[in-house]
Structure 1
Amino acid sequence: MTWLLLTLHVILIAGFGLRILLRRDMRPDVRLAWLLVIVLLPYVSCLLYYFFGEVALGRVPGRKRLNVREFCQSHGSNVAGNSACTLETYTDIPAQWQPAFRYASSINGFLPLPGQVAELMQDGDHARAQLVADMDAAQREINVLYYIWLEDETGTQVAQALIRAARRGVTCRAMVDGLGSRALVRSPLWRQMQQGGVHLSVALPINRPLTVMLTSRLDLRNHRKITLIDERITYIGSQNCADEAFRVKPRYAPWVDIMLRMQGPVVAQMQQTFASDWAQSPTLIAPPSTETARPSPHGFSAVAIAEGPTERPRATPQLVSCLLASARHEVVISTPYFVPDTTVLDALCAAALRGVSVTLILPARNDSWIVGAVSRSHYWRLLRAGVHIHEFRPGLLHAKTLCLDGAVSLIGSTNLDLRSFDLNFENNVLLHDEATTEAIRQRQQSYLRDSDVVTLEQVRATRWWKRIWDNLLGALSPLL
């Protein structure tokens, strides 16, 4: 019996170890971390690897899950663009930023097009009021996708606006993530939308968790926040369909978000992103239109970016690295969840070391204690390189922003963490416009006024046991 158990033990460890060593898509640090935990905690870690070790989307019988580029190609879309017009579309973007925009364009095939206009919403209440007003003015089509949709004031008002639009003949589609909006899917509000004529769908449903765990992963989520109205207006930013009070986690409130209301050709690119998600739905309603919106003659250049498990691996950290390498004077970043990989961490340090003013704004209290610890494990290295770190006090800073040299901004749903890099479906916009970047930069400045500076002396004074704890979680961050 002893020899049998020993043989089974060796087969188990060897089998999972070989699987990890044979994979071509795994980063070296992730591979090493998995091998280490499988040796130290063989049975638990083998089980965890089976459920969470690989990015695998469950297959829908008879249908392949397409990425955004494949979806555009299969539907003959002219939004993705082609190589013949690539050089022409870059003429409005200074040479300093062309490499980063070229990389962004390579992710989905979308081109950075001129003719965009944008308005920064003042706060969550302003964003909700403007969004509902736009929905009430809609004449043809409304498409929304939210990771979290709550039955609070914001969630109810948006749902009622969709119902009103559907009753006057507007085609309305609403999609939510199966985990983030699981309470809404079981709520009377969801049924009211369905009865009111809104076409509903759940992205990555978890109503059969055992099936999901055996064929995919429970933690693969659609984290996108997309609102599209009449093929001419889109909202881009970090705000879910929920109040700032965020009643599911009230002790961290207010949730501080940022939203841009945009018009121009980027709307069609975002529409393609939504359509690619909607195409995975079992619903029979026709896909949304993907006509290109009319550009503004005085607008700026921007490109939509869709990331996720079906897209190119490591696209987000590589894009951030390109942007940081292009910066000459200033970089300001806000993110609620900071769990960088080596690509982003090295790029931040390299930018600071060559004289760029790099500022990182993080929440002082994080709703994930693990993320908070991992973030702190990087403070010493960042501060030594010259990065300025600030911790936001009043609530959870949920805004995901990146401003460079007062000219370029990246804004959307993506956090600077490994979950956004590898597991979540995300949507962002990269834009070149001094006025819009200045508006976002001023919002970042308001965050800084409510933040405390983190100094190297404070990090040095961290108690030894806390430093061990933070560094231990930091070492395990590739698996988190």
Structure 2
Amino acid sequence: MTGGGGTFVVLHIAVVAVTAAHILLRAHRQPESRAAWLVLVLTLPYVGALAYLLVGQTNVGRKRVERLKAAFHDLPRPQDAPGWPAALETADRHEALFAVGRSISGYEPVGGNSAVLMENSDAAIDAMVADIDAASDHVHLLFYIWLADRNGTKVAEAMQRAARRGVACRALVDDLGSRDLVCGPLWQDMAAAGVKVRRALTIGNPLLRALTGRVDLRNHRKVAVIDNRITYCGSQNCADPQFLPKAKYAPWVDVLMRFEGPVVRQNQHLFASDWMGNGGEDIGDLLRRPMPAARPGFTAQVVATGPTFRNSAMPEMFETLVYAARRSLFVTTPYYVPDAAMQAALCACANRGVDTTIVFPARNDDFAVAAASRSYYPDLLRAGVTIYEYGAGLLHAKTLTMDGQVTLIGSANMDRRSFDLNYENNILLEDAETTIAMRARQESYLAQCRRILPQEVERWPVGRRLWNNALAIVGPVL
């Protein structure tokens, strides 16, 4: 063996050994994620090692982690506000659901809330604009994606009107998801009108950023808080349903709820922590304001997750809900790349006789996720899960209803990105009326769905099954 050849072999072994050791020693990594990375590194050592360096670690940067954690934990807690009400009594078997939520982000289940399910995306934006136009004290908006299209411009112009009449307006957007907005004139117009604008998880030079933390760990939240009185929660970004960046998948079908009650203060805390953690001024005094007089309403709780929260918190929340179901479980999610526990929970749900339904989009904007998702169909169908694919656009709604009593709505998908990488926000609630409305919306999608039967999946060509299963293997690194 020549000297050059020997050097190459040594380098090859060193790259594989060092990267593999780091993968195996890294804390808080699921076994299947380790296996996927090891396969990639062993198969393509240099490409795999570089990919692992850039996107293989859940790291947003040490300084950024310190800022985000400090902002979240140092702010006054919502439940410490004068006049904070007690939680309403919930069904005994639902107490554990809220206990899991509390253990994740510290928000207490609280009573006295109400919610209205928006009719559609355009109606949701119109309602938000009306609330902004009626605001008297402050407007806080956080979006992963904010486009300068018709709906995005309507909201931006409403923010400008509010700022000009003296309302404190703050707009926070993800630096990657909303990159077109922050590089365009609408962002500058908002700032010129007096709206305080900030970018979450700024990237700067991508190569330099990769040295201090992953570029693709994003703030995927969608939060609106108005006057400490109103909040919105759901899958809706600040954009048209036509979603021009990916128009061929349009319309994007979303779900948004408008909430009033003490749960608003929890979303205010979440926005404040993101605002301050990304360089904004201290707005903690808003959380110290006395609560308004208590009103009748249901119990709800904000569940916030992300890389600086407990590891695997979001799948734990999903799995707890799935295992708690006794009669019915209905899920809509655009992206399904579960961990083993999530897949097992859904199969167990159907196996014990619970009417279990999942709706996925027929056409997905992420081909790899679409293929990986379908690799899980055979086991789900064998267990008795009813699977539908929605064909009238991209069903982007992230919803879960359980037993006609419990709803989870928010930004989190059932995929590895939402499980481990992105900052997400959801609201968990116990209320028959609201859950019935959400279930009716879920069932309305079925008119534009095609049911996936076991016989169809069994007839899939070998090539398609190989493709789906191969992408599922690398699902943990997607």
Establish whether TM, by shorter chain, passes 0.5.
yes
Structure 1: how far apart are the matches of 2:291 and 2:213? 37
Instruction: Tell me what 2:196 maps to.
Output: 199
Q: Contact 1:34 / 1:479 at 8 angstroms: preserved in 2? A: yes
Q: 2:103 aligns with which of 98, 101, 106?
A: 106
Q: State the match for 1:357 in structure 2.
A: 355
User: Root-mean-square deviation (CA), in Å?
Assistant: 1.7
Q: Indicate the residue corresponding to 2:430 in structure 1.
A: 432
Match for residue 64 of structure 1 among 63, 66, 74: 66
Contact kept, 8 Å, 2:75 with 2:269, in 1: the verdict is no
- Specify whether residues 24 and 58 from structure 1 end up closer, same or farther in structure 2 by C-alpha distance, changes over 3 A only: closer
Query: Number of paired residues?
Result: 472
The answer to whether the aligner puts 1:26 opposite 2:26 as a matched pair is no
Relative to 1, partners in 2 of residues 1:358 and 1:80: Cα closer, same or farther, differing over 3 Å?
farther
User: Aligned to 1:122, which of 103, 119, 122?
Assistant: 119
Compute the displacement of 1:75 (Å): 2.8
Structure 1 alignment gaps of length 5 or more: none
Aligned to 2:221, the other structure's residue is in SS state: coil
* CA shift for structure 1 position 206: 2.1
1:42 is aligned to 2:40:
no
Matches within 5 A, 1:67-106: 67=69, 71-79=71-79, 89=86, 92-106=89-103
Deviations along 1:90-118, one digit per CA (max 9) or x if unpaired, are: 65110121111111111111100000010
Q: In structure 2, which of residues 168, 171, 180 is the aligned counterpart of residue 171 of structure 1? A: 168
How far apart, CA to CA, are the structure 1 residues paired with 2:255 and 2:178?
20
Could you state the TM-score of these two structures normalised by the residue count of structure 2?
Answer: 0.96
Hey, what does 2:137 align to over in structure 1? 140
Change (3 A) 1:237 1:195: same
Secondary structure of the corresponding residue to residue 61 of structure 2: coil
User: 1:348-384, CA deviations, whole angstroms, 9 ceiling, x for partnerless residues?
Assistant: 0001000001000011111111111011100000000
Query: How far did 1:78 drift?
Result: 4.4
Matches within 5 A, 1:140-289: 140-284=137-281, 286=283, 289=286
What is the deviation of 1:39?
1.3
- 1:281-337 deviation digits (Å, cap 9, x = unpaired): 234475572246436522000000111000011011111111111110000000111
Gaps of 5+ in 2: none
State the distance in 1 between where 2:428 and 2:21 align.
40
In 2, the alpha carbon distance for the partners of 1:288 and 1:131 equals 24
Q: Is the 8 Å Cα contact of residues 272 and 283 (structure 2) preserved in structure 1?
A: no
What per-residue deviation string (whole Å, max 9, x for no partner) do you get for residues 205-236 of structure 1? Answer: 22321121111111101000000000110000
- The 2-side partners of 1:379 and 1:477 are apart by 15
Is 1:334–1:444's contact at 8 Å kept on the other side of the alignment? yes
Are the structure 2 counterparts of residues 149 and 72 from structure 1 closer, same or farther at C-alpha, using a change threshold of 3 Å? closer
The whole-number CA distance in structure 2 between the counterparts of 1:355 and 1:462 is: 27
Q: Percent identity, aligned pairs only?
A: 46
- TM-score, normalized by length of structure 1? 0.95
Query: In 2, Cα distance between the equivalents of 1:465 and 1:417?
Result: 24
TM-aligned CA deviation for residue 280 of structure 1: 2.0
CA contact (8 A) 1:175 1:202 kept: yes
Quick one: which amino acid aligns to residue 248 of structure 1? P
Q: Letter of the aligned partner of 1:465 in structure 2?
A: G
- Matches of 1:271 and 1:242 in 2, distance apart? 22
